[in-house]
Amino acid sequence: MAKVRDILDHKGREVACVERERSVIEAARDMNRRRIGSLVVMDGQRVVGMFTERDILVRVVAEARDPNQVTVGQVMTEPVICVGLETDLDECKRLVTKRRIRHIPVVEGGTLVGLLTSGDIMARESMEHEVTIESLREYIAGPATH
């Protein structure tokens, strides 16, 4: 079974982070500049939450709060669920489905080492299905000749 490490080894381990004291407007501008939908919220070296587009919509815009005055820490999603590099992707898929989350920080030895998304899991699953289909096709029809 595939592990979180397999995905991160392929996609990379860069993670966009924000401090909980930053204003929502600063964080939103950073997300727009990077063209991403979430930031991992850090308190020093410790993961303390996730800040997503949904947090902005539900806890800032819908409540008519001033994004210049509200901090990320006031509206972030917490507690955050983290996994390790050796976590099975099936377990991650269960977490995404059961908890209705799209982003899972990856932590090893107390250090943030990557970010797994529901899209990463689906892409890996799709790739595995394609390999299985091609193997079955070759088994039935014989190897493709070019």
Mean pLDDT, all residues of the chain: 90
Residue type (1 letter), 128: E
Name the band, by pLDDT with cuts 50, 70 and 90, for residue 138: confident
pLDDT tens for 123-137 read 767 666 566 667 767
Name the band, by pLDDT with cuts 50, 70 and 90, for residue 142: confident
Residue of 58, 42, 62 whose CA lies nearest to 50: 42
pLDDT number for residue 124 = 65
Question: What share of the chain has pLDDT > 90, as a percent?
Answer: 73
Report whether 47 contacts 18 (CB < 8 A).
no
Pick the CATH number of 4-141 from 3.10.580.10, 1.25.60.10, 3.40.630.30, 1.10.10.10: 3.10.580.10
pLDDT number for residue 60 = 97
Region 4-11: mean pLDDT is: 91
- Judging by beta carbons within 10 Å of its beta carbon (0-12, 13-18, 19+), is residue 46 exposed, middle or buried? exposed
pTM: 0.81
pLDDT number for residue 127 = 67
What is the C-alpha to C-alpha distance for residues 26 and 74, in angstroms, rounded to an integer?
Answer: 14
- Spell out a b/e string for 106-140, using b for 16 or more CB atoms within 10 Å of the CB, else e: bbeeeebbbbbbbebbeebeeeeeeeeeeeeeeee
Q: What residue spans define the domains of the chain?
A: 4-141
pLDDT tens for 86-111 read 999 999 999 999 999 999 999 999 99
Q: Is residue 78 scored above 90 in pLDDT?
A: yes
pLDDT tens for 22-59 read 999 999 999 999 999 999 999 999 999 999 999 999 99
pLDDT number for residue 144 = 65
